[in-house]
Chains A and B, each alone.
Chain A
Amino acid sequence: MNTINRRLMLGGLGALGAAGVLAGCGSGSAGKPGAGPAAGDGGAKGYDGPAVELDFWNGFTGGDGPFMRRLVDQFNAENQNIKVKMTVMQWADYYTKLPTAVSSGRGPAVAIMHVDSLATNAARNVIEPLDDVAKALELKQEDFAEVVWKAGEYNGKRYGIPLDVHPLGFFYNKTLMSQAGLDPAKPPATADEYLAALEALKGKGIQGHWATPFPFTGVLTVQALLWQFGGELFNTESSKATWGEEPGVKALTWFTELVKKGYSPKNVAQDADAIALQNGKNAFNWNGIWNINTLKEKKGLEWGVAPLPNIGGTKAAWAGSHQFCLPKLKTPDQNKSTAARVFVNYVSQKSLEWAKGGQVPARKQVRESADFKALTDQAALATQIDDLHFPPPVPGIGDALGELNKAVNEAVLLKAEPAKALADAAARADKILEANRKKYGA
Chain B
Amino acid sequence: MRRHGRATPYLFLAPYLLLFLLFVVGPAIFGLWMSLHDWDFQLPGKPFVGLQNYQDLFDPLSATAEPFWHGMRATGIFTVASVPFLVAVPLGLAVLLNRKFPGRTFFRAVYFAPYVLGVAVIGLMFRYILDTTFGILNAFLGVFGIPQIGWTTEQPWAFVALVAVTVWWTAGFNAIIYLAGLQDIPAEQYEAAELDGASTWQQFRHVTLPGLRPVSVFIVVITLLASANMFGQALLITQGGPGDTTKTALMVITETGFSQFRMGQAAAMSYLLALCLAIVALVCFRLMKERES
Given contacts A16-B235, A410-B243, contact A267 B262 (CB under 8 A): no
Please encode chain B, from 134 to 154, with 1 for each CB lying within 8 Å of some chain A CB and 0 for all others: 110000000000001011111
Considering only CB atoms and an 8 Å cut-off, how many residues of chain A contact the other chain? Answer: 60
Residues on A with C-beta less than 8 A from B133 are 265, 268-269, 272, 276, 281
Considering the chains assembled together, what is the distance between the CA atoms of A75 and B44 in angstroms?
Answer: 37
CB closest chain-A residue, reference B250: A19
> Chain B's nearest CB lies how many Å from the CB of A278?
11
Contact of A124 among B43, B241, B259 (CB under 8 A): B43
Interface class of chain B by DSSP:
loop
Considering the chains assembled together, what is the distance between the CA atoms of A439 and B44 in angstroms?
Answer: 11
Given contacts A15-B258, A267-B154, contact A25 B41 (CB under 8 A): yes
Residues on B with C-beta less than 8 A from A276 are 133-134
**A147 interfacial contact with B, CB 8 Å:** no
Asked if B42 and A124 sit within 8 Å, CB to CB, the answer is yes
**B214 interfacial contact with A, CB 8 Å:** no
Residues on B with C-beta less than 8 A from A396 are 260-261
Residues on B with C-beta less than 8 A from A27 are 41
CB closest chain-B residue, reference A413: B242
Residues on B with C-beta less than 8 A from A31 are 42
Asked if B242 and A15 sit within 8 Å, CB to CB, the answer is no
Residues on B with C-beta less than 8 A from A269 are 127, 130-133, 135, 150-153
Q: Which of B18-59 contact A (CB under 8 A)?
A: 23, 27-28, 30-31, 34, 38-46
Asked if A410 and B132 sit within 8 Å, CB to CB, the answer is no
**A267, A410, A415 interface centre (most CB from chain B within 10 Å):** A267
CB closest chain-A residue, reference B154: A267
**A442 interfacial contact with B, CB 8 Å:** no
Q: Which of A1-47 contact B (CB under 8 A)?
A: 11-16, 18-19, 21-28, 30-32
Please encode chain B, from 167 to 211, with 1 for each CB lying within 8 Å of some chain A CB and 0 for all others: 000000000000000000000000000000000000000000000
Residues on A with C-beta less than 8 A from B148 are 265, 267
Considering the chains assembled together, what is the distance between the CA atoms of A396 and B259 in angstroms?
Answer: 9
**B132, B148, B153, B253 interface centre (most CB from chain A within 10 Å):** B153
**A189 interfacial contact with B, CB 8 Å:** no
CB closest chain-A residue, reference B267: A22
Given contacts A15-B259, A434-B63, contact A32 B44 (CB under 8 A): yes
> Chain A's nearest CB lies how many Å from the CB of B18?
16
Given contacts A124-B40, A124-B42, A276-B133, contact A22 B242 (CB under 8 A): no
Residues on B with C-beta less than 8 A from A12 are 255, 259-260
Considering the chains assembled together, what is the distance between the CA atoms of A416 and B151 in angstroms?
Answer: 19
**A14, A95, A415 interface centre (most CB from chain B within 10 Å):** A14
Contact of B243 among A266, A413, A428 (CB under 8 A): A413
Residues on A with C-beta less than 8 A from B66 are 428
Considering the chains assembled together, what is the distance between the CA atoms of A410 and B240 in angstroms?
Answer: 12
**A257 interfacial contact with B, CB 8 Å:** no
Q: Which of A366-396 contact B (CB under 8 A)?
A: 396
Asked if B259 and A14 sit within 8 Å, CB to CB, the answer is yes
Asked if B132 and A431 sit within 8 Å, CB to CB, the answer is no
Residues on B with C-beta less than 8 A from A96 are 258-259
Asked if B152 and A19 sit within 8 Å, CB to CB, the answer is no
**A126 interfacial contact with B, CB 8 Å:** yes
> Chain A's nearest CB lies how many Å from the CB of B196?
51
CB closest chain-A residue, reference B253: A22
Considering the chains assembled together, what is the distance between the CA atoms of A126 and B148 in angstroms?
Answer: 47
Residues on B with C-beta less than 8 A from A270 are 127, 152, 239
Contact of B34 among A11, A23, A267, A399 (CB under 8 A): A23
**A51 interfacial contact with B, CB 8 Å:** no
> Chain A's nearest CB lies how many Å from the CB of B157?
9
Asked if B153 and A24 sit within 8 Å, CB to CB, the answer is no
**B263 interfacial contact with A, CB 8 Å:** yes
> Chain A's nearest CB lies how many Å from the CB of B250?
7
Please encode chain B, from 221 to 240, with 1 for each CB lying within 8 Å of some chain A CB and 0 for all others: 00000000001100100011
CB closest chain-A residue, reference B65: A431
Considering the chains assembled together, what is the distance between the CA atoms of A14 and B254 in angstroms?
Answer: 6
Q: Which of B96-136 contact A (CB under 8 A)?
A: 120, 127, 130-135
13 intermolecular pairs with C-beta atoms under 8 Å apart: A14-B258, A18-B254, A18-B258, A30-B46, A99-B41, A103-B41, A103-B42, A126-B42, A269-B133, A409-B241, A413-B242, A428-B63, A435-B262
Give residues in A with beta carbon < 8 Å to B: 11-16, 18-19, 21-28, 30-32, 95-96, 99-100, 102-103, 124-126, 213-214, 265-270, 272, 275-276, 279, 281, 396, 398-399, 402, 406, 409-410, 413, 415-416, 428, 431-432, 434-435, 438-441
Give me the 10 closest cross-chain CB pairs, A-B, nearest first.
A23-B31, A267-B150, A23-B27, A431-B63, A124-B42, A30-B44, A14-B259, A267-B153, A14-B254, A18-B258
